[in-house]
Structure 1
Amino acid sequence: MMDFSVVIPIYNGAKRLPGVLEKLRSQTGTEEIQWEILVVDNNSSDETAKVVRELQSTWNLQVPLKYVFERRQGLTFARTRGIEETEGQFVAFLDDDNLPNSDWVLQAYLFGNQYPKAGIYGGQIHALYQTEPPENFKRIEHLVLAIRESGEQAFQFNPELLQLPSGAGLVLRRKALLESSNPECIAAVSRGDNDYELSLYLYQNGWEIWYNPAMHLNHLIPPERLEKSYLLSLAYRYGLYTFGCRVILAKTWGQKFLLFFRVMFGGLKRVILHFAKYKKQVQSDLVNACELNFFWASAISPIYYYINKISFQK
């Protein structure tokens, strides 16, 4: 078995992929680590396959650079395929806009061995903006762009409060997934738009969720990801996940019932307080508008959750 696997799901990212692979090619301190890289081509229509073949022909590392084509489009299928096709004791997910530091693999591997109960963990994610972000944007960059800079001390996240690692650069202990008795935990690994689910199910099964400050990566943010419509939609979508994530840890129907109203009225309270505090700035200021979208979506997330659940069962 490999010690460490890096899985890169990619869709039409031929232009970005070389940058990620060059960062992985330049990893240091990994001489004693058996690791591999797998590019999962998620039904791309660009030259992703050609780019990988060209890189493989000049790949002068002992680290295997593998490629697999996944026709079923969606991060759901790409991540699952990546886990199936790799052998690492730890499986790390990088996107094509994630640029890890030169010791990222080493620090990820050492941390996993140092904390044997860590089922999943993430590190520091720094924004690499290609255009200047709006004023006060730092207030919400963790919310809409999964930027995380939480200091230089390792700590356990608090899943009970939905304090969890972001998806970029997430590292999963394969043993934690394989030993899970909950089928929802297996399914959650592939739900690419909500990485919190997997962390919550692993926590529910007795695993710890950690922050590793020694893992650094830069998240490339192109101008289009700072457009108002895009950011508002992200804030709204993430807000809709609130109840679905919180309910995972509810053990009884009574707890779920109380949680339904706690999340709903808690979200409505935040909407009212936000309006009272910012008034006219709520719609004119991007940061305030994103926060309002998140609070409102959180308030209706219990209804959203059960409507989706009924629709799925049908």
Structure 2
Amino acid sequence: MNGVSVVICCYNSAQRLTKTIEHIVKQEITSAIKWELIIVDNNSTDDTAETANLVWTEYNITNINFKIVFEEKQGLNNARLKGIAEATYEYILLCDDDNWLCPTYIETAYSIMTNNPNIGVLGGFSEPISEFGLPLWFTTFQYAYAVGAQNLYSGDVSSRGYLWGAGMIFKKSVFTKLLTSGFRFQVSDRSGSSLECGGDSELCRWFLIAGYQLWYDERLKFKHFIPANRLEKKIR
């Protein structure tokens, strides 16, 4: 079914979710576009689920489907698989718990995907933001934080081989076929306090094998909140 399923995978995200959900609630979307929000609680030990439900309830939104689902097995890819399985609509938008989408993000993504059937995976422009400002060295290392432009201009970036998972949009129908054909993530990706990664690249590679394009569009803008403790030298 055409529409957008926004999936936020969460592990101990209670402190980050309020602003993230606030930006999703403020999306400017025509009534013709169907969409929903799915929170995946990846076995959190804080009140992630309660916080998500409280924030959403405060906005008193009744015409958009909202649900919180639980995935016991920790690991970002496990949480994503759960969210995708629960999704109603064709286009899956992976929004991290620290991503603040611009007001037109969902509608722009929907338009790009529906008008370009060869696009399998779509990515956008991530702007870093932090509570105390960014250190002078940040620009040199910003790619390690998956922020900034993913290409010099909008268009086909298949030759790059991957897009960042944050803000990524892809087709559920194609992903489901890939699973049926034997695709499995080889890494668990981020799990608990572990920062192991690679799931984004794996997913993109399989879409390329299936004959689809990777596409970057600079109109898809979002802020990526980076807490101060991730800007310490040891993180680099």
Same fold (TM over 0.5): yes
Q: How many residue pairs get matched?
A: 227
User: 1:216 and 2:221 equivalent?
Assistant: yes
1:133-144 equivalent positions in 2, closer than 5 A: 133-142=134-143, 144=144
SS of equivalent to 2:9: strand
Question: What residue number does 1:120 align with?
Answer: 121
Distance 1:210 1:204 in 2: 15
State the AA in 2 paired with 1:63: I
1:292-307 equivalent positions in 2, closer than 5 A: none
Deviation at 1:2, TM superposition (A): 5.1
Deviation at 1:174, TM superposition (A): 1.2
Question: What residue number does 2:194 align with?
Answer: none
State the AA in 1 paired with 2:50: K
CA contact (8 A) 1:112 1:118 kept: yes
Structure 2: runs of 5 or more not aligned: 191-196
CA contact (8 A) 2:150 2:163 kept: no
Question: What residue number does 1:41 align with?
Answer: 41
Larger relative contact order, structure 1 or 2 (CA cutoff 8 Å, min sep 6):
2
Question: What residue number does 1:266 align with?
Answer: none
Question: What residue number does 2:15 align with?
Answer: 15
CA contact (8 A) 1:7 1:94 kept: yes
Distance 2:203 2:116 in 1: 18
CA contact (8 A) 1:123 1:216 kept: yes
Question: What residue number does 1:173 align with?
Answer: 171
CA contact (8 A) 2:13 2:48 kept: yes
CA contact (8 A) 1:120 1:208 kept: yes
In structure 2, the CA distance between the partners of 1:188 and 1:124, relative to structure 1 (3 Å rule), is farther
CA contact (8 A) 2:75 2:189 kept: no
In structure 2, the CA distance between the partners of 1:209 and 1:17, relative to structure 1 (3 Å rule), is same
Distance 1:39 1:133 in 2: 29
CA contact (8 A) 1:189 1:198 kept: no
Q: Which has the higher helix share?
A: 1
Larger Rg: 1
Distance 1:208 1:65 in 2: 30
In structure 2, the CA distance between the partners of 1:173 and 1:20, relative to structure 1 (3 Å rule), is same
1:1-314 equivalent positions in 2, closer than 5 A: 1=1, 3-58=3-58, 59-142=60-143, 144-150=144-150, 153-159=153-159, 162-180=160-178, 182-184=181-183, 186-187=184-185, 191=189, 193-194=197-198, 195-231=200-236
Range with bigger deviation, 168-177 or 188-197: 188-197
Percent identity between matched residues is: 30
State the AA in 1 paired with 2:73: R
Range with bigger deviation, 50-59 or 211-220: 50-59
In structure 2, the CA distance between the partners of 1:68 and 1:35, relative to structure 1 (3 Å rule), is same
Distance 1:75 1:137 in 2: 25
Deviation at 1:66, TM superposition (A): 0.7
Question: What residue number does 1:295 align with?
Answer: none
The C-alpha deviation readout for 1:133-163, integer Å capped at 9, x for no partner, is: 3334312201x1001325784211143xx45
In structure 2, the CA distance between the partners of 1:152 and 1:34, relative to structure 1 (3 Å rule), is farther
Under a length normalisation based on structure 1, what TM-score does the superposition of the two structures give? 0.67
Range with bigger deviation, 172-181 or 147-156: 147-156
In structure 2, the CA distance between the partners of 1:73 and 1:84, relative to structure 1 (3 Å rule), is same
